[in-house]
Amino acid sequence: MQEISIKPRGLEPQVTLTDAAVAKVAQLIAAEDEASLFLRIGVRPGGCSGFSYEMFFDTTTNPDDIVTEFGAVSVAVDSQSMTMLQGAEIDYHDGLQGAGFAINNPNVTRSCGCGNSFS
């Protein structure tokens, strides 16, 4: 996994993508036919355990974003979300039991039964 990072205010890169996740994100971006898209990952209040993840494609970065590049895929995380995502790994699984992205976040102390929110 090749990783090049822009680190504002001395922060180390804290969110990583597995090769499978990079490949899937690249495939989804290519399908959108918009070269300026990047993946934005964030944490927002909500869900039954207090916080929930959000992942979507974006075209505009903000001054407090921490941007990490994984080959041709760029990932932006706002600095507030980064405090809750330090050390997290994003993976992609495609199998008989379903397909989707999974976030392995070492900062989670409790999650709900549905797996979509955490505290």
| Rounded Cα distance, 42 and 78, in Å | 7
The CATH architecture of the domain made up of 4-118 is Sandwich (2.60)
Indicate the pLDDT class of residue 8, thresholds 50, 70 and 90.
Answer: very low
- Percentage with pLDDT > 70 across the chain: 78
Q: Averaged over 39-58, what is the pLDDT?
A: 86
pLDDT of residue 90: 95
Are 76 and 82 within 8 A, CB to CB?
no
pLDDT of residue 49: 60
| Rounded Cα distance, 15 and 3, in Å | 10
Question: Per-residue pLDDT tens for 61-98?
Answer: 999 999 999 998 999 999 999 988 999 999 999 888 88
pTM comes to: 0.77
Which one of 1-5, 45-49, 54-58, 111-115 scores highest in mean pLDDT? 54-58
Q: How far is CA 100 from the centre of its chain?
A: 13
| Burial group, residue 34, by CB count within 10 angstroms (0-12, 13-18, 19+) | exposed
